[in-house]
C-alpha cells in the first residue's frame, strides 16, 4: 500500500500570530524580537514584509531596524503561540489520528489508507490550507509525498500558503538539483564535510559511493543517502505537542558579561532551578545534561554528559553543569550568554536499582524538598525563594527564567 504523508509548516508562525492581534501591523514589516535592554536583542521571526527587506532570524535588532526602517519589533508570547499550535493540530486531527509534532509550527500527517493516492493527498492538503487560512487567519505550506523527508522538503519549496507534491515517480527532477544543505539534518558541518568530496546537491549525495559516506559521516552518512533516494520509511508516530519535546532547556543573556567561574556557577544554578522545576511540573526526568556558551565574540560551544541515572533534582543538574563548565569552558571567559538543557527524558516513577550506600534515598529526600519549593513558588511567585548562591549577584536574583523557556523538538534520528 502506497503511503501518503503531509508535512504542514506554518508560515512565519510567531510573526503571523502577532499580526492577528496588531491591526496596525497589517501590510507592514514586523519581527518578533528579544529585548535589547536585557541584551536579548535578536530577531526570532519575521513576517513576509520584513523578510523582503532582508531581515533574517538571528540578526541583531539594531541591524534589522537599520536595513528596514519602520520595522515593528514586538516581544515573544510563547503561551499564545502554543495556543495556536494546538488549534492547528485540531485541524490536522480531523483528517487523521496519525499526527506527529515537530516543534510548535510543524507537523507530519499520515493519510495512508487503502486506495488513497498521492493525488487524493494533494486535494486534502488544499482543504487543510484553506481551513487554516479561513479559521485561524494564518497560512501554512504543505508538502505531499510518500515519506516524511520528501514531504518536509516539499513544504519548504513554495512559501507562503502553498501545496507542493513530491511524487515518488518523479522526485529526481524536483529534489536532486537542490543544494544538499536543503535535506533534513544536513547541517552546516555535514554540508562542509560533503563539499570536501564535491557532494554539492542532493543528487550528488544520492549517487555518492557508500564507502565514502560511511568513512566521512559514519552510519548517518548512509542514512542520509537513503533519504536522498526517497527510501525513508520512518513512521509518523502520533504525538501530543508535549510528547514532541525531546529536551527541556533554558538559556540566558545576563545583564552583564560573565567574567569569572563564580559568575558562571551562579547562573547555572539559576538555570537549573528553571529546568528542574519544569521537568517536575511535567513529571519528567532527564539522563543527559548539556550546556552551551556564547562568547563576547559570538562564538558558540557546547558539551554534554550522560548520567548513570535520570534526574530532575535541581542540585544534581546544577552540579553536573558546573563540572562541565569548569572542565571545558573557563578558558572562554568572558561570555555573553550560557544555556542548560536536559534530554534523554523519561517519566518519573521509572524503577531504579537501589544501592548499598543510600544515594537513592538522599536523592529522593532532595526531590521532596524541590517539590516543596515548587509549591511555595507556585503560590507566592518564582522569586519568593532563591538560592543563596544566586543572591551573591543582586541583578541575577531578580531574573525569573522559568517562564522564558525554549522548546526543543524530538531529534529526528531518535529511534
Phi-psi label, residue 296: left if phi above 0, alpha if psi -120 to 50, beta otherwise = alpha
Q: Are strands 140-145 and 163-165 parallel, antiparallel or unpaired?
A: parallel
Is 106 catalytic? The answer is yes
Please give the sequence-ordered ranges of beta strands (E in DSSP) within 98-172, or none if there are none: 99-101, 106-110, 140-145, 163-165
- Beta-bridged to residue 406, according to DSSP, are 249
Q: CA 2 to CA 113: how far, in whole Å?
A: 8
Which cell numbers hold the place of 285? Answer: 526526568
Q: Which of 18, 93, 100, 106 is catalytic?
A: 106
**Strand-by-strand arrangement of the 106-110 sheet:** 99-101, 106-110, 5-10, 140-145, 163-165
What's the rounded Cα separation, in Å, for the pair 145 and 192?
28
Q: Three cell numbers at 327?
A: 572542565
Is there a contact between 180 and 204 (Cβ–Cβ < 8 Å)?
A: yes
Residues with catalytic function: 106
Amino acid at each position: 500500500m502506497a503511503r501518503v504523508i503531509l508535512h504542514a509548516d506554518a508560515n512565519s508562525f510567531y510573526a503571523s500570530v502577532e499580526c492577528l492581534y496588531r491591526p496596525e501591523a497589517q501590510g507592514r514589516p514586523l519581527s518578533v524580537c528579544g529585548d535589547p535592554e536585557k541584551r536579548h536583542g535578536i530577531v526570532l521571526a519575521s513576517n513576509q514584509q520584513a523578510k523582503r527587506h532582508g531581515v533574517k532570524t538571528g540578526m541583531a535588532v539594531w541591524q534589522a531596524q537599520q536595513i528596514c526602517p519602520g520595522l515593528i519589533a514586538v516581544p515573544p508570547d510563547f503561551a499564545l503561540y502554543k495556543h495556536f499550535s494546538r488549534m492547528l493540530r485540531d485541524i490536522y486531527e480531523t483528517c487523521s489520528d496519525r499526527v506527529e509534532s515537530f516543534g510548535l509550527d510543524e507537523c507530519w500527517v499520515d493519510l495512508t489508507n487503502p486506495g488513497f493516492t498521492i493525488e487524493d493527498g494533494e486535494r486534502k492538503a488544499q482543504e487543510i490550507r484553506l481551513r487554516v487560512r479561513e479559521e485561524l487567519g494564518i497560512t501554512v505550506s504543505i508538502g505531499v509525498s510518500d515519506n516524511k523527508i520528501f514531504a518536509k522538503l516539499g513544504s519548504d519549496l513554495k512559501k507562503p500558503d502553498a501545496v507542493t507534491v513530491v511524487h515518488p515517480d518523479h522526485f529526481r527532477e524536483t529534489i536532486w538539483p537542490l543544494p544538499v544543505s536543503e535535506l533534513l539534518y544536513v547541517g552546516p558541518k555535514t554540508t562542509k564535510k560533503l563539499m570536501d568530496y564535491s557532494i554539492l546537491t542532493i543528487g550528488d549525495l544520492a549517487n555518492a559511493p557508500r564507502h565514502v559516506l560511511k568513512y566521512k559521516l559514519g552510519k548517518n552518512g548512509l542514512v542520509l543517502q537513503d533519504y536522498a533516494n526517497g527510501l525513508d520509511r520512518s513512521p509518523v508516530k502520533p504525538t501530543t505537542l508535549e510528547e514532541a519535546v525531546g529536551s527541556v532547556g533554558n538559556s540566558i543573556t545576563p545583564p552583564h558579561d560573565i567574567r569569572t567561574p563564580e559568575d558562571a556557577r551562579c547562573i547555572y544554578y539559576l538555570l537549573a532551578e528553571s529546568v528542574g522545576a519544569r521537568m517536575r511540573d511535567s513529571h519528567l526526568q532527564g539522563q543527559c545534561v548539556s550546556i552551551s556558551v556564547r562568547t563576547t565574540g559570538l562564538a558558540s560551544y557546547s558539551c554534554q554528559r550522560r548520567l548513570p541515572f535520570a534526574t530532575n533534582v535541581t542540585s544534581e543538574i546544577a552540579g553536573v553543569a558546573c563540572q562541565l563548565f569548569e572542565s571545558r569552558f573557563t578558558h572562554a571567559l568572558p561570555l555573553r550568554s550560557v544555556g542548560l538543557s536536559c534530554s534523554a527524558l523519561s517519566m518519573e516513577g521509572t524503577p531504579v536499582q537501589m544501592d548499598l550506600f543510600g544515594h537513592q534515598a538522599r536523592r529522593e529526600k532532595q526531590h521532596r524538598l524541590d517539590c516543596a519549593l515548587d509549591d511555595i513558588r507556585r503560590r507566592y511567585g518564582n522569586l519568593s525563594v532563591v538560592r543563596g548562591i544566586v543572591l551573591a549577584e543582586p541583578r541575577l536574583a531578580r531574573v525569573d527564567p522559568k517562564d522564558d523557556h525554549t522548546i526543543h523538538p524530538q531529534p529526528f534520528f531518535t529511534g
